[in-house]
Amino acid sequence: MQEIMRELNAENIGSVKEYESLSNHTTWKIGGPADIFLEPKDTEGLQHAMKIITRAALPWRTIGRGSNLLVSDKGMEGVVIKLSKGFEGLEINEEEIKVGGGYPLIKLATIISRKGLSGLEFAGGIPGSVGGSVFMNAGAHGSDISTILKKAHILFEDGHMEWIDAKDMEFSYRTSRLQKEKAICVEAIFTLEKGDKETIVKRMQKNKDYRRESQPWAYPCCGSVFRNPLPDHAGKLIETAGLKGFQIGGAQISEMHANFIVNIGEAKAQDVIDLINHAKTTIKEKYGINLETEVEMIGRLN
């Protein structure tokens, strides 16, 4: 590992740290150390790093804003790549925008709405990055990323990059092909529509206010934990089962919204896992419904 650290540092590809705690980089504030934590300074640096990582046969994964992730208390083996400042470019050309994979989605939705461009109002209040939102086809209020994506610039594990059309991204509910392939969304191009700026801003702000008023963002959390077993809703099922406020260790099923698990004080990943399993078992026993997690569990999990 030390040899890889030296090689990555020698190539001046960005910030390289050893044993960085991932609790500093997730919205749940949970997670042990990454063997190597890499923040490439630009796309060229990322490509170069990927060749080094692949040649060394090290496991790797990317993170953006750290939402929708549960990282093991034991941390992660190999290399964790964070797309940050070097991947936050934004170009606006009429109704089409090109934006870096590390760009915060909430910030993008706010800026775009003030430009009188419609299509991203649903993202008001969604934590995470553009790359992460493409990865999981993030959505809310009846819309999602697949409705506005034109194409995504993808870096594959072998180091080559390719623009992939939206129709080839295999989008479905909270799913894309990137969840099946070892690849990174470096940039995205979205197609929006011009509209009345005041109306668009109000709609976006309404969505943002709804999230703030109905979801427990005062505590560290990851967003929704379970996928909705349509036509049912996970939060409603968990609430009806009487699990609001149920707690294991420092993790609690939110008293505000039952599809959220909040870190109310020094929660461990295992606390969250145990709480997830308890909710799954309870809902299966009461309603015969299998809940599936929306949150991605990564690292050295039991």
Residues tagged active-site: 174, 224, 294
Cα-only R_g, the chain: 19
Cross-strand bridge partners of residue 99: 90, 188
CB 272 within 8 A of CB 298: no
Rama region for 263: left / alpha / beta (φ>0; ψ in -120 to 50; rest): beta
Q: Name the residue with tokens 């190597």.
A: 36
3-state secondary structure of 184: strand
d(CA 114, CA 8): 40
CA distances from 261 to 28, 49, 68, 129 (A): 9, 35, 11, 21
Query: Which two structure tokens, joined as six digits, stand for 201?
Result: 């801003």
